[in-house]
A and B are shown apart, each in its own frame.
Chain A
Amino acid sequence: MEEQRIGVYVCQCGTNIAKVVNCEEVVRALSEQPGVVVAKTYKYMCSNPGQEMIIADIQEHGLDRIVVAACSPRMHEPTFRKAIQTAGLNPYFVEMANIREQCSWVHDDPQVATDKARALTFGALHRVAKHEPLERMSVEMCPDVLVIGGGVCGMTAALELADGGNHVYLVEREGTLGGNVARVDLTAPYLDSARDLITALVTRVEEHKRIDVLVHSQVSSLEGFVGNFTATVETIWGDGASVSQFRVGNVVVATGYKEFDASRVVHYGYGKLPNVITSFEFEKMLRAGRIQTKEGKIPQYVAIIHCVGSRSKEFHTYCSRVCCMTALKYAHEVKSAIPNCYVSDVYIDMHAFGKGHEDFYKRGSEAKTLFLMYAKNDHPVIRKAGPGDDCEMLIEVNEKLSGEQIEIPADLVILMVGMEAREDSDAVARLVNISRDKDGWFIESHPKLDPVATTTDGIYIAGVCAAPKDIPDTVAQARAAAGRILAKTIRGSIEIDAVFAEIDEDKCSGCRVCNALCPYSAITYDASKKKSTVISAVCKACGACVAACPSGAIKARHFTDSQIFAQIEGVLT
């Protein structure tokens, strides 16, 4: 092997690194190492002059490997890979040592930090010598999209994608589009009709020439990887069923939620007391245009109880986000329909976070809604009133703002049932290979910076299936997912990282340990050959299979044994 010519670049990151780590000393130590042709320090290595300096050195000194001691590779590895590629090197011939997060930011003693920075840079130097040139693959991107769920979220995403020119398969389990919003009367806080909103969406979706709507249908399998999925959909027609199959490049999961089952909260007597109803039952009443008790009487006292199933240790600890405003909407609708009715709103905290919400809350107060606060993990108890009372029921609760144990008269009690992940969210997660959190909601790639992507390329989540949210947030996510997909499909192909695991078929014993272990379902098993294979486009190079393989048959590209051992040796030098 001919002599390698390595360049080492130590970044000061302004003063982020240099105020603790002695960068000059690191440069001095590295410059004495065999193979190092150039060793330099600079204020901002990631800046344009910094990158240009590296490129110029590669060309001038004929460097073939680069070490950058700077921040985390998560931050700037792509920057330096691109820079050395510009200079004509294989992008994988760069290695970073993290001397910011791992040294200057966590150590106070400059000597200790400098020693550690030197050791890490030595590790990178030894490792980069073992790097192999890798080539990125390009795969075709099918522009068609599968959208699972025909509620507001799915329909919005489908329309956005179809308007952008992509063909969309919209799969809905029920017989009609609209989802949960179709069960609602008015929307909060602006009191627009939900029906109008849904009708407009459904009409456009059904008339759109690039949207295929499949109602009464469920996705039974999804094979392949980003750009190249094959979806199988089962449709039930009356007593017959049909199966269709199509290719899609990306998938939007918009499966929404189901309402919390109020009968699980025993002290509310739901199912036993006839005039204790859920929010969705009340919506039905509102849509029918008559607010009344089971006996057909106009109620004089209406009580609304918040957080049924939400924000409690017993059921769900999360907030369902839409119920507070929906409750205020009910107070408003009751007062408009029955002006002399008294509305009590029994809440834990009033979450009025969105646009127009605080004003809506104030309007509820002005209309004399009686707001009564109870403590989290405490709960009101509903009982039948006595013959002498002027009401049907009494709600006993420890009211927090007054500190008094009180009873609230009620003829009709509305339980604000929270949102819950659907029972089959687990099956959906397995179908599209994404994960769920402890509450059953699908997990996004990054909660803040990448909220609609998932850890599986090509699978996007939007709307309530990822966590409770209101219509505006859902629509934003639906459009975000559609936008992401449009951006990916517009080029017709995608590049896949060259770093992935490979199985040496000769060594593989077919034990299938790796199959179940892979968190990305990237390993398939060929039953006839009795061998496992990694789908490189799906693999994220986590290394779980590499470590687990009893035959040592799996190699992770760019994370080979020899590279890692070299790095360890370098650190220990």
Chain B
Amino acid sequence: MAIRVNPKLIDELEVYGAEDVQNCYHCGNCSAVCPFSKEPYIFPRRPMRYLQMGLEDKLKGSLEPWLCYYCGQCSEECPRGAEPGETMMSLRRWLTSKYDFTGISRAFYKSGKVELFTVIGAALLTALGFVLWAVLRGGDINSYDGPNAFLPAASIHIFDWALAGVLLALLLTNCGRMWWFTLGRDKQLRTPFWLYLKKLYLLPLHFVTQKRFATCERKRPWAVHLALVVSYLIMLVLIMFFLDLMWSGPEIDWRVHVFGYIATVGLLGTTIFALRARLKKAEPLYAHSHETDWIFLILLIFAAFTGILQHILHRVGFDAAANVTYIVHLMGVVPMLGLEVPFSKWSHLAYRPLAMYFSAIRAEAKERAEKEAVEPTLAAQPVA
């Protein structure tokens, strides 16, 4: 059955950042220079071809975009200026919008303004919600911790877990859709359950170590990214499990705060690095910035600075100022987590390890199928 070419898809992808893909004439230099491009996952050339031809289903079923870490060597080698690295980046954005069933992601990627207004709206709602709640329950603006605290740690803790639950549910739905597009609906591919179990170790491995990223010839982007991930993980653990220890003050509880400071330095350093690099277009990876990239980075830096400020204010005893700063901090953190994790750039924290996991399953399933296709013919030979 012939697949219908859709010349319009290339126009649709333009808003996701794929502006030069039409220039590609398939010399294959990009795929030759890419350290990850190996059978059965040849890229960037193959997804670029699918995109030029508008083979939407093939693209939706592609894991290749997630296997790329955008070291940018392909874009440097491209004789036609087709920006294969940026095309892969754009495909990741497009896939993110396809995995998301709500359509919110699509709206964000299509218009930076929509995302910006949603972020601002969510920030204002957050502020309004917390202030109303604190005032109604009679919290004291001059008290940061203790029984009369404006926002008690225990309540915030419950809110954190609730938010995490919602985000996880949304993200898992998207992951389920990713599985369906890439493995589930492929009727020709036989993927037994034990294969999913066998390869399961890949998920935490890649999540924590970013092992594959380290394979790129350029090591700096990997190091920066790893620092960011580790800092976030530390911060996540501190907030989700040790919030009460973090909260109490003004004396510093070094058991938790030593980790907090390390994570803060990591977050601030890597975010400033990324912002500077994007402004200077220092590396191919940073040469093209989508509106969503800027919003994400600005939210990060905003959350980091307000977090530091409220920490300082609380430690020096300006509890009222610390409470206000904390609300402002939440105005950055809540939209950042609530919108970026399920619908935008941050969702890749789930899709990348998943892609590694799914691609290993798919590769092995294919290999098995090929072996089986050979073996029966051997078995069919009459025994003399």
A: residues with CB less than 8 A from B are 301, 342, 344, 350, 361-362, 365-372, 394, 396, 399, 401-402, 404-409
B26 contacts partner chain A, Cβ-Cβ < 8 Å: yes
By a CB distance below 8 angstroms, the chain A residues around B3 are: 404-407
Given contacts A365-B25, A401-B26, 17 further A-B contacts (CB under 8 A): A342-B7, A344-B5, A362-B80, A368-B10, A370-B22, A370-B53, A372-B5, A394-B4, A402-B50, A402-B53, A405-B1, A405-B2, A406-B4, A407-B2, A407-B5, A408-B5, A409-B7
- In the bound complex, do residue A365 and residue B80 qualify as a contact, i.e. CB atoms below 8 Å apart? yes
B80 touches A344 (CB 8 A): no
Contact A372 B4 (CB under 8 A): no
With CB as the reference atom, state the residue of chain A lying closest to B50. A402
Tell whether A407 pairs with B4 under 8 Å between CB atoms, given A362-B80, A365-B25, A402-B55: yes
Instruction: Select which of B1, B7, B46 is within 8 A of A370 by beta carbon.
Output: B7
Chain A residue with minimal CB distance to B22?
A: A368
Residue of B nearest to A399 (CB): B53
A399 to B3, CA, bound (A): 10
Min CB gap B67→A, angstroms: 19
Please state if B22 and A365 are interface contacts (CB–CB under 8 Å): yes
Neighbouring B residues of A396 by C-beta, 8 Å: 2
Q: How many pairs of residues, A versus B, come closer than 8 Å at their CB atoms?
A: 63
Taking a contact as CB atoms under 8 Å apart, the answer to whether A402 and B23 are in contact is: no
- A-contact 0/1 string along B1-44, CB 8 Å cutoff: 11111011011000000000011111000000000000000000
Q: What 9 pairs between A and B have smallest CB-CB spacing?
A: A342-B7, A407-B2, A368-B22, A402-B49, A405-B2, A365-B23, A401-B26, A408-B5, A370-B7
Taking CB atoms, residues of chain A closer than 8 Å to B23 are 362, 365-366
Count how many chain B residues have C-beta atoms less than 8 Å from C-beta atoms of the other chain: 22
Report the separation of the CA atoms of residues A505 and B10 in the bound assembly, to the nearest whole angstrom: 82
Asked if A404 and B22 sit within 8 Å, CB to CB, the answer is no
In the assembled complex, the Cα of A396 lies from the Cα of B1 at a distance in Å of 10
B97 at the interface (CB under 8 A from A): no
10 contacts between A and B (CB under 8 A): A301-B7, A361-B25, A362-B23, A365-B23, A365-B24, A366-B23, A370-B22, A399-B53, A401-B26, A409-B7
Q: How far is the CB of B289 from chain A (nearest CB, A)?
A: 22
Q: A405–B1 Cα gap in the complex (Å)? A: 7
B48-81 interface (Cβ within 8 A of A): 49-50, 52-53, 55, 58, 80
Kindly state the separation between the CA atoms of A228 and B306 in the bound complex, as whole angstroms.
101
Q: How far is the CB of B21 from chain A (nearest CB, A)?
A: 9
Question: Which residues on A sit within 8 Å (CB–CB) of B52?
Answer: 370-371
Which of A350, A365, A406 has most B Cβ within 10 Å? A365
Which residues of B are found within 8 Å of A342, using beta-carbon distances?
A: 7-8
The answer to whether A401 touches B4 (Cβ under 8 A) is no
Q: Within the complex, what minimum Cβ distance (angstroms) separates B40 from chain A? A: 13
- With A and B bound together, what is the CA distance between A406 and B52 in angstroms? 13
A406-B53 contact given A365-B25, A368-B22, CB 8 Å threshold: yes
Partner of A366, one of B4, B22, B55: B22
A65 to B264, CA, bound (A): 103
Q: Give the nearest-CB partner of A343 in chain B.
A: B7
Minimal beta-carbon separation of A152 from chain B (angstroms): 31
Q: How many Å from the CB of B13 to the closest CB on chain A?
A: 11
Give min CB distance, B78 to chain A, whole Å. 12
Residues of chain B lying within 8 A (CB to CB) of residue A406: 2-5, 53, 55
Chain B residues with CB below 8 A from A369, complex form: 22
Complex contacts, B53 vs chain A, CB 8 Å: 370, 372, 399, 402, 404, 406
Count chain B CB atoms within 10 A of each CB in A344, A367, A402, A408 and give the residue with the most.
Answer: A402
In angstroms, how far is the closest chain B Cβ from the Cβ of A203? 42
Look across to chain A and name the residue whose beta carbon is closest to the beta carbon of B26: A401
User: In residues 77-106 of chain B, which contact A (Cβ within 8 Å)?
Assistant: 80
Q: How far is the CA of A370 from the CA of B8 in the complex (A)?
A: 10
Interface positions, chain B 242-264, Cβ under 8 Å from A, are: none
Contact partners of A407 in chain B: CB under 8 A: 2-5
